[in-house]
Amino acid sequence: MSSSPSPMAQRIAQADPQETSTILEVAIVAATLTLAGPAAAQGPIGHGGTAGSDMARTRGALCQDSRGQALGGVQLDLAEVGDGVQDGDWRLDGSAWAGGDISRVRVGVSAAGSGESADTVEVEVFYVRAFDPRWHLLAGLGKDFGGDGPAYLTAGVEGLIPYGIQTSAELLVDEQGEVGARFEAVSDQRLTRRLILQPRLEAGLRLDGGVEAQEAEAGLRLRYEVRPELAPYVGWVWSHNAGEAPGEAARSGSGLVVGLTAGF
């Protein structure tokens, strides 16, 4: 029993060879996409389509950073007032840096005083070089512009030890040839999503003719992160100072502090 050709068959039969070839190519491509589904339209992850574009952007950002893109920032670690402040009733500790992932320049400022006067304004300039993802070498110089302290050279190391404790150790040699050392350990213990408890220890040593403790401070600060870059805090600080000059009486004390940390 014969049947008449379908309209599609008649259309193909009447078409010239070139048009017939084009129709067949379009049909093959349409069938391939239909069988392959959405994955074929989007392309393999990492090579095309939406997912590939996201990964490509991420890889591009990582490559740009790892190739030494210039970055920078400002961090205010402590800005506090209270009875617990050593050598005054207010204290500021902050730093600014510029550079890349491997090496950068950092300027640190530490100031303390009473009222509107600053008793100490110590400025340090460091060259920082990473030798491990968690450890950096430091080299630089510093001077206390608020007092009569001499300028000094400093070298040291900073990094992260187990339990998330950020540590630093510096060796200092001043222009008079006196040698000293500084140590610091800070740890952020997250209690809730916004509430963070921070133990902090600082110590300074004299190393001329032996090891002698010059100053020490232990603090416990509780801060509330309004935003990751802005957090007010309250804390309790104990401090001890053995005296800057021979025969000077040692001073110790403790008290409450309130303050703010910020980053830009």
**The pLDDT of residue 12:** 42
Q: What is the DSSP letter of 192?
A: S
Cα 168–chain centre separation: 15
pLDDT digits 0-9 by tens, 152-193:
999 999 999 999 999 999 999 999 899 999 999 999 999 999
The residues facing 143 across adjacent strands are 123
Torsion of CA 16, 18, 24, 29, to 10 degrees: -150
Q: Does domain 72-263 have CATH number 3.30.360.10?
A: no
With residue 155 as reference, give the H or E element that holds it: strand 152-161
Contacts of residue 97, defined as CB under 8 A and 6 or more positions apart, other chains included, come to: 72, 73, 104, 105, 106, 107, 128
Amino acid 197 reads: L
Torsion of CA 225, 230, 231, 237, to 10 degrees: 140
Structure tokens at 130: 């990473």
The residues facing 133 across adjacent strands are none
**The pLDDT of residue 80:** 96
**What pTM does this model have?**
0.70
Whether residue 261 contacts residue 77, with contact meaning beta carbons closer than 8 Å, is answered with yes
Q: Which of 39-43, 132-136, 205-209 has the lowest mean pLDDT?
A: 39-43
CA distance linking residue 137 with residue 156, whole number of Å: 6
Question: For residue 201, what pLDDT band results from cuts at 50, 70 and 90?
Answer: very high
Contacts of residue 70, defined as CB under 8 A and 6 or more positions apart, other chains included, come to: 98, 99, 100
Task: Give ranges for CATH 2.40.160.40 in the chain.
Answer: 72-263
